[in-house]
Amino acid sequence: MDVRINKFLADHGIASRRAIDILISKKRIRVNGVVLQKPGFIVHNSDRITVDGKEIKHESKKNVYILFNKPRDCVTTAKDTYGRKTVLDYIQSDSRIFPIGRLDKDTTGVLILTNDGECAHTLMHPRYSVEKIYRAYIGKAFSEKDKKLFESGIVLKEQSARGGPASGGKTAPCKTHFFQKDRRDVVITLHEGKNRQIHRMFGALGYTVEKLERIRYAGLDAGDLKQGEWRNLTKKEIELLIPSK
């Protein structure tokens, strides 16, 4: 087996490829006892690989795909250095799973977790323009003028995401409509995922987001799941999510 280190670790459920590259930059990964310096390293079967001192075995695994209805006050990480409750505190799985992308601590709704690094890479890559639908409750009525500006794209100031790249520039066009004609209750359809994008887009136009929920991601919604509940995806859902599976 000859494969790049980020793909190897992503396939073994450590994190997404992008997150693995960040771990490498923080010198948290060793190969044969040597701190890895660059993300392009090629892994061989004989290599001993450790992450934070824990060895990652060269073994096959069964892919797991979980749909979770994330509650508020829950962080979208596997571990939290501040002792806050994480999404993995809600889910019982024998596999080493991780969330695909992030939702802010106070944002609720649909989140997918997996140990399939290739799936995570595909869903998060901008090239694939995965659809994300949110419902936002804002502090005042959304004017028709601002609605059109919002949909055509908002220029955001540069802002470094935690552990990720800066996410400024103009947002891609999106769609909005009102939930039950309430001009403070807005449904937004995006095909990108900049850091705190919806908060920043509304903020740029002088609105505050009082409540935010992701109601659909990659064609999947929470269905009957209450906040804090989860389930495994069905075979049909997995095929829709990643048609090659």
Identify the structural domains of the chain with CATH numbers, from first to last.
3-56 (3.10.290.10), 65-126+226-241 (3.30.70.580), 131-217 (3.30.70.1560)
Tell me the pLDDT band of 204, cut-offs 50, 70 and 90.
very high
CB 215 within 8 Å of CB 134 = yes
Q: Which of 47, 80, 104, 185 is catalytic?
A: 104
Predicted confidence (pLDDT) per residue in 48-70, tens digit: 999 999 998 887 678 899 999 99
- Residue 181 confidence (pLDDT) above 70: yes
Q: Provide the whole-model pTM.
A: 0.76
Query: How confident is residue 1, by pLDDT bands cut at 50, 70 and 90?
Result: low
Residue 149 vs residue 18, higher pLDDT: 149
- The predicted model gives 172-184 an average pLDDT of 95
Q: Is 11 a catalytic residue?
A: no
